[in-house]
Amino acid sequence: MFKHTLEGGAELRILETRHAVEFLKFIDENRAFLGRWLRWGAEIRSIEEAEAFLRRGITRYVEDGLPWVGIWLEGELVGGVLFFPVDARTLATEVGYWLGESAVGRGLVTRAVSAMLDYAFGTLGLHRVALQAEVGNEKSVAVARRLGFTEEGIRRAAGVNQGRYVDMAAFSLLAEEWVRTRCQR
């Protein structure tokens, strides 16, 4: 069972379908904040849709061994980290993350993604983790930079947000870079 306590007391736990009610409540309370940058934050509106989203995470966990985790602070779900499917040939994946509005500004996502990068590179032996942030999502770009990701450039019209094509800033981090980053801390 994957469970990890972050410095400061927040807990990472695997997101499961049994969390659907809590997850939907979290989305409902943060819909405008999440939906500004995350399509699913705007779209998930029912328990069934929340369950389907969480089931996708469990399916990926079964297939790749890389869990989608929630961040619980003082017993409340306040955010999470997810991964896209692992490419078995290149041992590469992509990470995504989110927080509720009241949980920003404390380094929670930086610490949560950091723990999951330890798992992805250290435990699973992955080689490369990508990250994409919509151009203009400065808080997300700051997370990428804080974690030592390298900016590769702008992928033009590579995302869709609220019905419009949007440019995405592409970042990546390699296993050997993560080891160096960890050693310097």
Q: Which residues bind ligand COA (CB under 6 A)?
A: 33-34, 37-38, 96-99, 104-110, 133, 137, 139-140, 142-143
Sign of the CA dihedral with 148 first, then 149, 152, and 157 last:
negative
Residue 61 host element (H or E): helix 47-64
How many whole angstroms from its chain centre is CA 26? 15
Nearer to ligand COA, 20 or 144 (CB): 144
CB of 176 to ligand COA, least distance (A): 23
Nearer Cβ to ligand COA (142/179): 142
Of 65 and 96, nearer to ligand COA (C-beta) is 96
Cβ proximity to ligand COA: between 99 and 115 the closer is: 99
Q: Which tokens in the block code for residue 79?
A: 């955010």
Least Å distance, CB 34 to ligand COA, is 5
Helix axes of 20-35 and 47-64: crossing angle, nearest 10 degrees = 100
Residues 109 and 143: their CA atoms lie apart, in Å, by: 8
CB of 17 to ligand COA, least distance (A): 22
CB of 142 to ligand COA, least distance (A): 6
CA-to-CA distance for 106 and 95, rounded, in angstroms? 20
